[in-house]
Each structure stands twice: as C-alpha cells, then as structure tokens.
Structure 1
Amino acid sequence: MDLASILGIVLSFTLMIFGMVFGDDGIDFGKTATFIHVPSMLITFGGSFMAILAQSESLGAFAGSLKSITLIMKVTLASESEIIHKIIDLSNVARKEGLLALEEAANEVEDEFLKKGILLIVDGTDPELVRSILESELTAIEDRHGSTIGFWENIASMGPAWGMIGTLIGLINMLKELDDPSNIGAPMSTALITTFYGSVLANWIATPVALKLKAKSAKEIRMKEVIVEGLLSIQAGENPRVIEEKLKSFLAPAERASFSEGQEGGEA
C-alpha cells in the first residue's frame, strides 16, 4: 500500500473536519451537521459524475476510469535501477552465450514488455523494427494512461463548475423568498455549500488522484524507455559496461551514485 497517498487523503480530510468543529469555545462536533446538505451533494457530486458519464465512451469505460482511484494506493515495486541491473545481466548472458540464450532467460522475466522485447531479439527481428514495435506499444500505453488521467482532470474541473450551478440555484431560490426573511436560510445554505462541495471534490480527491496517476505513468514510461534502449544495445552487441553507462543517464545524480555503490558492493 502507498502510505503517502493514504495519509495524504485521510489527514487532509481530518484537518478539514478539525477546521469545521474547532472554535473559540473548543471543539464541537455538532457543527459538522451544518456542512451536510443532501440536495447540494446531489447537485455537485451527482452533476459532476453524470456530466463525465455523458462524455464517456461507454458505461464500462466510465466504471473502469472510476476504479482507477485504487491505483494510487498501489506501490510500484520496480524501479529504473532494478531494470538497469536486469538489462546488464541479460547483456552478460548474450555476450557469453549469444542472443539465442536469452530465450531461456525470458522465461524468468515477469515484465511482459521486457519479455516481448527479448523474444523479438531472439527471433532475429531487425533492430529498427524492434524499436518501432516497442515504441508503438509505449504510445498505446501513454494513450491509455492519458485517458484515465484525463477522467480525473475533468472531474476536477466539473466539481467547481457544478458547485457554481448549485450556488446559482440557491441564489435564485433565495431571491424569490426575499419578502419572507424566515425562508432565506435554506436557499442561502444551498448557495454556499455547493461551492464548498465542488472545491472539496476538485482539491481533495480529483486533482491529487490525477497528479498521482500522472507521476506513476511517467515512471512506468521511463522504465520502459530504459528497456527499449537496453535491449537495442544488447542486440547491437555493445559491451555491458557501455550499456550500463548509457542507461545510467536515465537516473538522477543521487540514484546514479547509489547505483554505483550497489555495483561495487555486489562485486566485492
């Protein structure tokens, strides 16, 4: 589980609740009832999600995008450093035993993208065609990720918009009741609280989810780019040391230092 995502969501909600209940006379949890207004929830949350449903390709696509919120809870186990180590191991096998020996090594590889690339090399596929096939798959992956990220970005923009619609509804109803001050409270509450709900939907849920998915997507694409460059280098028969230096360019300076230290420790 990704503790950063869970703690961020839970603690931000907790702090929001604390701001609601805390006052000069201490903490009063009864104040939370002021912020619960079912019609405003239906306008803001219901309107936002139904507007996104209307522009979705299908009901299944909408449900799939909605379920993608669970992805922010998952930790990405692999890293660029681990991929580079794997590529170097494969390059050593290819250098000592030939490219055909990689077919056996592919059986132990869990990453389907890496396995596909290895098998293309073993089959003797032209290097340019290997690059074209793998980069086409990368483009398809980016498109799928972009669609999911776009779903949450649209929710983030719809929330405040539907909050404003609720505000206008409340103001219209309030203006109709100006001749009876006792009936102004409920419409005014709707007018204000829908804006609050829209902001919460956008800034507590949708925007953080979109940004987290975007970061995860960028990390996955970067690791697959390492795989593409590494496999093509193996196919070209480059020295494992040269391949290592080439792939380390994908790492941040601090990661390069720790990578080098790990290599020295392993050799020792």
Structure 2
Amino acid sequence: MDILSVIGAILGLVALVGGSILKGAGLSGLWSPAAFMIVIVGTIAAILLQTPMHTFRRALGIVRWVFFPPPQDHAGLIARMVEWSTISRKQGLLALEPVLDQLADPFLRKGLQMVVDGVEPETMRQMLEIEAQAQQHRDTAAAKVFEGMGIYSPTMGIIGAVLGLMAVMKNLSDPSKLGHGIAAAFTATIYGIGAANLMFLPMCSKLKGVIHRQQVEREMLIEGLIAIAEGENPRNLESRLNGFLH
C-alpha cells in the first residue's frame, strides 16, 4: 500500500471538511445532490465522450495503483539476471528453459523465451522495445483519463454555480431564500475545484509516476536479457544494471 496516497487522501478530506466547519458553513454546506449531479455526473459524461472504450477500461484497471502500486524489486531482478547469466555461461542458454515456468511477468517471460530460443540480440531488442513502448503508451493514455476529469470538473462546477444563481434570480422577491440559494450555488464550484485538485489531478500524477517506474524496469530487463544472450560476464552485467537503481 502507498502510505503517502492514504495520508494525502485523508488530509484532503480533513482540509475540506475542517475548513468548512471552521468557516462556519458546517457539514450541511458541503452536501448538495444537485451540485453532485451536475459536477460529478457531468464530468463522467464528458470523459466518456472523449475516451475510447479500451482506454477507459484500462483506466479503471489501473486506478488501484494510486493506493496499491505494483510491487517492484529492482535489486532482486538484478540478482536473478546475474544468476541466469552465470547459468547460461556454464551450461548454455537452453539451461534457462526451466526458469520460464517460474516467471509471472509476461514481458520478462517473453524476453527470456527469446533468449532461450536464440533470437538475435538486435532483433530481440527491437521487439521488446516496441512492446515496452506500446504498454507505456496504453497506460499513459489511461492515466490521462483522470487528467481529463481534472480539467472538466472545475468547468462543470462553474456551470453548476451559474445554474444555481439562475435559480436564485427567480426568487429575488423572497429575500429569505437568497442567502441559502447563493450558498448552494457555490457548492458546485467547491465540488468541481475540489475534485480536480484533491482527487483527479493528483491521481493522474501518481499513476504517471508508477508507469514511469515500470518503463525503467522494462528497460533494465531488456538490457539484462540482451547481455545474457550475448554471453556478457555476470560481474559486468551486474555493474551495468546497477546504474538503473540510481
């Protein structure tokens, strides 16, 4: 679990609720079904119009990474590849075939299969780089779904505020309703700006960070697998891959 994400989410909620109470608006001032409908439902509608189905599904699939990012153990991967390099130099590349069944990562398994099959290193590099870049592109496009929601939600908040003020203008003859109506109108603005800056945009940035770290790991794997295929000395391999840790 990403502790910083949990702390950030809690502090954001505390800031919003606590600020409302301290300013005298109270908890009731933050609740407005109409504002929720306009801002949240409207933002979802806008992003659905913008996003292809496969990208939206991917976005729903990776949103958990905000709090539960995929585990990464670069030092452990380096140690495993050094071990594979040692085995291949002593027993040949085919000796790595039993390792394939132990790998859960499809990208790593595919790359090691190429090594065992004797694919040319340059051809292997091209194929793996294309796959790594394609995966990064898919995941980045999915992360930008939340960036889009962060862009649309403040605008939807303004729309909600305008609609609320329009309703207030219809009741100018009854001064007792003006204060409550204006407060309710600005609740939509809070929803829009708050959702963008406390949820959607930070989620997008967090996801982009996870995606970048995954891409660095794939680049490290490609370098390691190519070195194994070329029969590089395990000590040299370890020194090269340790550069990715920094």
TM-score computed with the length of structure 1 as normaliser = 0.84
Cα 1:144–1:105 change in 2 (3 A) is same
1:161 aligns with 2:155: yes
Q: Alignment partner of 1:171: what SS?
A: helix
Deviation at 1:96, TM superposition (A): 1.1
Does the C-alpha gap of structure 1 residues 154 and 134 become closer, same or farther in structure 2, counting only changes over 3 Å?
same
Q: CA RMSD in A?
A: 2.0
Q: After TM superposition, give the deviation of residue 57 of structure 1 in Å.
A: 1.9
The superposition leaves residues 11-46 of structure 1 with CA deviations (integer Å, 9 ceiling, x where unpaired) of 3212322222236xxxx8x91012111111111111
What is the alpha-carbon distance in structure 2 between the residues aligned to residue 68 and residue 251 of structure 1?
A: 24
Aligned to 1:6: 6
User: Could you tell me whether the CA contact under 8 Å between 2:224 and 2:237 is conserved in 1?
Assistant: yes
TM superposition outliers: structure 1 runs of 4+ over 6 Å: none
Q: Deviations over 1:213-234 (max 9, x none)?
A: 1111111111110000011111
1:53 has 2:48 as partner: yes
**Matched residues in 1 for 2:154 and 2:71: separation?**
35
Mind listing any 5+ residue stretches in structure 1 that lack a counterpart? 253-268
- Letter of the aligned partner of 1:44 in structure 2? V
Instruction: State the alpha-carbon separation in 1 of the partners of residues 134 and 227 from structure 2.
Output: 23
CA drift of 1:64 comes to 4.7
Cα distance in 2 for partners of 1:66, 1:195 equals: 26
Per chain length, whose mean CA-contact separation is higher, i.e. which structure has more relative contact order (CA < 8 Å, sep 6+)?
Answer: 2
Q: 1:157 & 1:240 partners in 2: Cα distance? A: 49
Per the TM alignment, residue 168 of structure 1 is displaced from its structure 2 partner at its CA by 2.0
Give the 3-state SS of the residue equivalent to 1:184 in structure 2.
helix
Residue 98 of structure 1 is matched in structure 2 by 92
| Of 175-184 and 84-93, the range deviating more from structure 2 | 175-184
Find the counterpart in structure 2 of residue 43 from structure 1: 38
Which of the residues 59, 82, 88 maps onto 1:65?
Answer: 59
Which deviates further from its counterpart, 77-86 or 35-44?
77-86
Identical amino acids, percent of aligned pairs: 31
CA distance in 2, matches of 1:188, 1:16: 19
Which residue in the other structure is 2:113 paired with? Answer: 119
Equivalent residue number for residue 185 of structure 1: 179
Change (3 A) 1:143 1:199: same
In the aligned structure 1, how far is the partner of 2:19 from the partner of 2:177? Answer: 28
Aligned residues: 246
The residue that corresponds to 2:225 in the other structure is: 231
Query: Which residue identity is paired with 1:243?
Result: L
CA gap 1:56/1:220 in 2 versus in 1, 3 angstroms: same
Which runs of 5 or more structure 2 residues have no equivalent in the other structure?
A: none
Q: Distance in 2 between matches of 1:153 and 1:72?
A: 14
Partner in structure 2 of residue 76 of structure 1: 70
Query: Match for 2:28: what amino acid?
Result: A
Amino acid at match of 2:122: E
Q: Deviations over 1:43-65 (max 9, x none)?
A: 1111111111122223x753552
Structure 2: distance between partners of 1:247 and 1:114: 15
More moved, 225-234 vs 179-188: 179-188
Alignment match, 2:22: 22
Contact 2:55 2:142 in 1 (8 A): no
Does the 8 Å CA contact 1:87/1:231 hold for their aligned counterparts?
Answer: yes
Which of 196, 204, 215 is the matching residue for 1:221? Answer: 215
Give, in whole Å, the separation in 1 of the partners of 2:190 and 2:162: 13
Structure 1 distance, partners of 2:230, 2:206, is 37
Secondary structure of 2:146's aligned partner = helix
Counterpart of 2:12 in 1: which secondary structure?
helix
**Distance in 1, Cα, partners of 2:122 & 2:214:** 22
Quick check: 1:144 aligned with 2:138? yes
Match of 1:203 among 197, 200, 211: 197
Deviation of 1:188 (Å): 1.4
